[in-house]
Structure 1
């Protein structure tokens, strides 16, 4: 029987996590690629965690599939970083996934600043729907979630049932601290987004991300001034009708 979201029970996830409980991130990635092979894809935002995961993945599967949800609204520094990563890891299959609507088409249909008037819908159009299309063709996906990032991520396991995308989500970095992420980046001389040096700990779209002050929540720069804290990729619920 093929392992897939549809065939798994809660006990299967529990068993996997008990099996991997004492393993490190590299072991989790080895298990994931051995289990899902080419049907495993990494959805990367090219943040600090992304740089660590890309380097680890390259040690396990040099030609792994990596996607970036290109909303058309990212900072130029993010696009520059992607080019650096492509040059450092030429065998990785890095693909930029675009929404079905161009920015001009979205503005015509929903208004010029949808990210302000309805940020959830903007994320749905430019992130969630494109990722749904990718994951419909893969059995599992990798994410760089860490437990310390926010309360909504505190219970993340290595292997997770993802009801939002009807997929299996693998999170190898759940135990890493921010300090450990940056230690790894410095030790291995990895490239990273230049905005991190300008008080941008969490980087998303240009219109929805601002710098944070010392002592502020690292994610407070995302959708500042709104109640929104997540784009929806990691909210484990059913898609909105």
Structure 2
């Protein structure tokens, strides 16, 4: 029994020692060099980037405190892979009532906390993108699935390497009161002037990155950090109040 306990202790000590190594194999963190990425991390001779071009008509409604949009996305598959569906980011959905952001949020109430700070612990704000329609390249309503802050769109035909396809989306969302519930974007109301100041971000559904390392980058957005995006051209028309 003593020998057995000694053996277990030595094994545990060895495992702990290995987990605290100052030096690790780089293969644990960096992928093996290939034709897409060299050992230095620089692009290889077969490196590619997807392209997403946007045409947008955006309207800010200061009576309803909402943003609505009609966008057309032209997505070009520069990868060697055939894509059967597309993934889009719905960053505004972090403010939806069923958002995981609320579930993991923590905040301590300290002496001297303001009413607004306490109010942020619970709010019933109806946030998130409201998707009215998604149309594929044929102009027909596409099948799509919203998963929190991500949306998968099933395209009618597989998108082969070198080909492009289009998506059209109609959507809107409520703008949050950033002074009441916080956030980097939203509106601030000035009672004396009966006017609003807007800071708007993440106001349109956008394409996720597809690369040779992870495939589709479709991890949930919880409010901190920003994801990379495919490059593209933007043509944007924005209608706002004249005051």
TM over 0.5: no
Structure 2 length-normalised TM: 0.25
Larger radius of gyration: 2
**Greater fraction helix:** 1
**Greater fraction strand:** 2
Structure 1 length-normalised TM: 0.25
